């Protein structure tokens, strides 16, 4: 049957306005020409920061010493999960070699990029988990040089816990620099950093646009938009839990949609009634952000069957997909479009956001239809090689020459011919 919308979204997530793109383009042009001096000017004018940009050993050690032991323990626990998961991922990316025909050997190698730039957002929240997700994953991939960059949070610069986390995760250097100027510093190799081969990490609309404009000469993890989450629930789900999970994700920001698809009208109605009550108990500014996200962007959909819920999820392709329903193995095998999947009531997206292990830098805005999230694979180049012996050379050269001439590429054909000694020079020639 057609989907029944018990709550619709009167608004749509905001798109990146043209003025942001224009502003970023101008900033990048100035930073490309003026380098570190222009970056310092932007840091002063936009963030009010006139302190040191590059954190040195004593500063890092002092910041780490000020972090409470309990918080250090929690950061280390999360770091262990994230690193171990990334290490296991790295083990799945293997070099290989195959003899396709006698004397025709081909293979692949997994080579880490040399330098990565990890942007760790600041602002309203101190994104400890984002530092772990980006830096630790790059380190486990084998990246030799990792620059971590985060904006100052008031006159003290980067928060102590974030500095401690960056060092623990394996950053080669830490830059107190935010926004477009921070991204540019890593891309252009400013403040003693090498030019980054890849830029990763979430950020605001300006950071996302800077990464988009820089892509090409430098790699990026993805162009990320506002975070989004979808819950699939049947009549076994607890309305209080579902409502709390939706509120937890709506807290991200006013432009962060949350959705519920369910086969239970009673559950849907209970959740719709409960969410505003839970939002009202949040502190500010979280309460306003969650209220706007729920009011303007949230949807609650009533489905006829679990297959209809699964099809709806595949169409939506959410960043976070949480199943609170019977037969979790069925859902794991059936669902195919999501950034990360959370199975069962005992888990929550918040676990994945902070400490569970799999990466939380994930595709948004439906991009999960064609890509996954950040992983060690983003920091690896899968390159191929081939070797030919005389045993395979003659037949391969003949096929290549004939195919080349069929395509009209005579130069290619002659390059193959010479391997047979039929060109103007034989391979055995010493001239």
In whole angstroms, give the CA distance from residue 45 to residue 397.
Answer: 63
In whole angstroms, give the CA distance from residue 320 to residue 297.
Answer: 16
Residue 118, helix vs strand vs coil = strand
Contact partners, residue 430, CB within 8 Å, separation at least 6? none
Contact partners, residue 192, CB within 8 Å, separation at least 6? 54, 173
Q: Can 291 be counted among the known catalytic residues? A: no
DSSP structure string for 62-108: HHHHTS-HHHHHHHHHHHHHHHHHHHHHHHHS--EEEEEETTEEEEE
Give CA separation, 245 vs 139, 144, 329, in Å: 32, 38, 21
Closest C-alpha to 396, from 101, 25, 29: 101
Closest C-alpha to 393, from 374, 369, 421, 368: 421
Burial class (CB in 10 A: 0-12, 13-18, 19+), 276: middle
Q: Can 320 be counted among the known catalytic residues? A: yes
Closest C-alpha to 343, from 321, 372, 375: 321
Catalytic residue among 79, 127, 252, 320: 320
CB 298 within 8 A of CB 9: yes
Phi, psi of 214 (to 5 degrees): -80, -20
Catalytic residue among 319, 322, 345, 360: 319
Active-site residue set: 319-320
């Amino acid at each position: 049957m057609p989907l029944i919308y018990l709550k619709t979204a009167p608004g749509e997530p905001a798109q990146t306005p043209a003025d942001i793109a224009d502003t970023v383009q101008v900033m990048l042009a100035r930073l490309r020409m003026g380098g570190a001096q222009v970056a310092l000017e932007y840091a002063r004018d936009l963030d009010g920061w006139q302190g040191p940009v590059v954190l040195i050993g004593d500063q890092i050690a002092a910041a780490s010493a000020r972090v409470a032991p309990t918080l250090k323990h929690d950061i280390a626990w999360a770091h262990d999960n994230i690193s171990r998961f990334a290490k296991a991922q790295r083990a799945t990316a293997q070099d290989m070699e195959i003899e396709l025909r006698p004397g025709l050997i081909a293979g692949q190698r997994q080579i880490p990029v040399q330098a990565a730039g990890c942007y760790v957002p600041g602002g309203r929240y101190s994104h400890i988990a984002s530092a772990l997700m980006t830096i630790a994953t790059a380190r486990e991939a084998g990246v030799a040089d990792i620059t971590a960059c985060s904006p100052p949070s008031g006159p003290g610069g980067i928060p102590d816990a974030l500095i401690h986390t960056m060092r623990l995760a394996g950053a080669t250097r830490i830059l107190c620099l935010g926004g477009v100027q921070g991204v540019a510093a890593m891309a252009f190799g400013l403040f003693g950093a090498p030019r980054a081969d890849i830029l990763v990490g979430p950020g605001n609309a300006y950071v996302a646009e800077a990464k988009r404009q820089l892509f090409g000469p430098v790699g990026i993890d993805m162009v990320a938009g506002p975070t989004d989450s979808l819950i699939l629930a049947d009549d076994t789900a607890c309305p209080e839990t579902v409502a709390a999970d939706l509120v937890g994700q709506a807290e991200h920001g006013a432009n962060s949609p949350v959705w519920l698809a369910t086969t239970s009208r009673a559950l849907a109605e209970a959740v719709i009634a409960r969410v505003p009550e839970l939002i009202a108990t949040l502190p500010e500014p979280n309460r306003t952000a969650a209220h706007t996200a729920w009011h303007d962007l949230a949807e609650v959909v009533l489905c006829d069957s679990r297959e209809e819920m699964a099809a709806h999820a595949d169409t939506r392709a959410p960043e976070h997909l949480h199943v609170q329903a019977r037969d979790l193995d069925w859902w794991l095998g059936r669902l195919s479009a999501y950034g990360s999947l959370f199975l069962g009531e005992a888990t929550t997206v918040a676990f994945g956001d902070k400490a569970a292990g799999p990466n939380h830098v994930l595709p948004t805005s439906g991009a999960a239809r064609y890509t996954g999230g950040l992983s060690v694979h983003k920091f690896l180049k899968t390159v191929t090689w081939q070797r030919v012996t005389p045993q395979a050379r003659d037949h391969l050269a003949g096929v290549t020459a004939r195919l080349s001439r069929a395509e009209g590429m005579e130069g290619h054909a002659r390059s193959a011919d010479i391997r047979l000694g039929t060109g103007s020079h034989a391979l055995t020639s010493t001239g």
